[in-house]
């Protein structure tokens, strides 16, 4: 399936990419947090970049940002249009693959916030963390750890550090917060994100 070339409306401000789940059956607290994040992102003058779906936490955040008068950019692979139900009220580009989706979301964003989500969310954040480990970017990566959702993943990262698979400096690659207010405050420090000094092998 071929699609027309992607065209994205210019935006002069900062943008934050939200990685989050598409499930409508998760803890309502996650949906509330996603809605708050969307609204507060708009209030801060940031554009919300997300996966383009109208379901789950994705849809909740996008609708809240749009309702608050914020700019929103959705990026959706064509094959997911029926499953994740495009949110047509905001700017949305349809691409051919997951790789293209992630590349555009990365290129269009100044920071990443990781809310609760499933294996797709996990895959997205692991990739941007891996790129950061390789010194390919210095953008903030912020875990929105509602109700300890990401504790197990964070423990796995710690195990890798303790077992000398990952340098201790990798702890600087991400931040962990428990509230939307904290996430907004950290993403606004995007220009001050530390540049990692990894081991040279």
- The domain that contains 69 carries what CATH number? 3.40.50.450
Q: Percent of the chain beyond pLDDT 90?
A: 79
9 domain residue, yes or no:
no
90 domain residue, yes or no:
yes
pTM for this prediction: 0.91
198 domain residue, yes or no:
no
168 domain residue, yes or no:
yes
CB 82 within 8 A of CB 53: no
Kindly report, residue by residue over 1-60, the tens digit of the pLDDT: 456 567 899 999 999 999 999 998 999 999 999 999 999 999 999 999 999 888 999 999
CA neighbor of 19 nearest in space, from 136, 127, 95, 117: 117
User: Into how many domains does the chain fold?
Assistant: 1
Domain range for 163 is 15-190
199 domain residue, yes or no:
no
Kindly report, residue by residue over 87-116, the tens digit of the pLDDT: 778 999 999 999 999 999 999 999 999 999
What mean pLDDT value characterizes the chain? Answer: 90
Return the higher-pLDDT residue of 86 and 30.
30
pLDDT above 60: residue 172:
yes
Phi and psi at residue 103, in whole multiples of 5°? Answer: -65, -45
pLDDT above 70: residue 80:
yes
CB 91 within 8 A of CB 49: no
At residue 79 the predicted structure's pLDDT band, cuts being 50, 70 and 90, is confident
CB 146 within 8 A of CB 182: no
6 domain residue, yes or no:
no
């Amino acid at each position: 399936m071929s699609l027309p070339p992607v065209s994205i409306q210019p935006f002069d401000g900062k943008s934050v990419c939200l990685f989050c789940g598409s499930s409508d059956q998760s803890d309502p607290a996650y949906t509330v947090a996603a809605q708050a994040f969307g609204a507060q992102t708009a209030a801060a003058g940031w554009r919300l970049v997300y996966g383009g779906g109208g379901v789950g936490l994705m849809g909740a955040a996008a609708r809240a940002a749009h309702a608050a008068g914020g700019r929103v950019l959705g990026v959706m692979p064509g094959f997911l249009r029926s499953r994740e139900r495009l949110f047509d009220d905001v700017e949305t580009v349809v691409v051919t693959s997951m790789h293209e989706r992630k590349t555009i979301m990365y290129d269009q964003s100044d920071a990443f916030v990781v809310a609760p989500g499933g294996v797709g969310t996990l895959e997205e954040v692991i990739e941007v963390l891996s790129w950061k480990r390789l010194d390919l970017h210095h953008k903030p990566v912020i875990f929105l750890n509602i109700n300890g959702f990401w504790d197990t993943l964070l423990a796995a990262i710690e195990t890798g550090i303790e077992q000398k698979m990952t340098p201790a400096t990798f702890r600087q690659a991400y931040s962990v917060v428990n509230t939307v207010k904290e996430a907004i405050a950290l993403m606004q420090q995007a220009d001050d994100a530390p540049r990692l000094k990894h081991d040279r092998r």
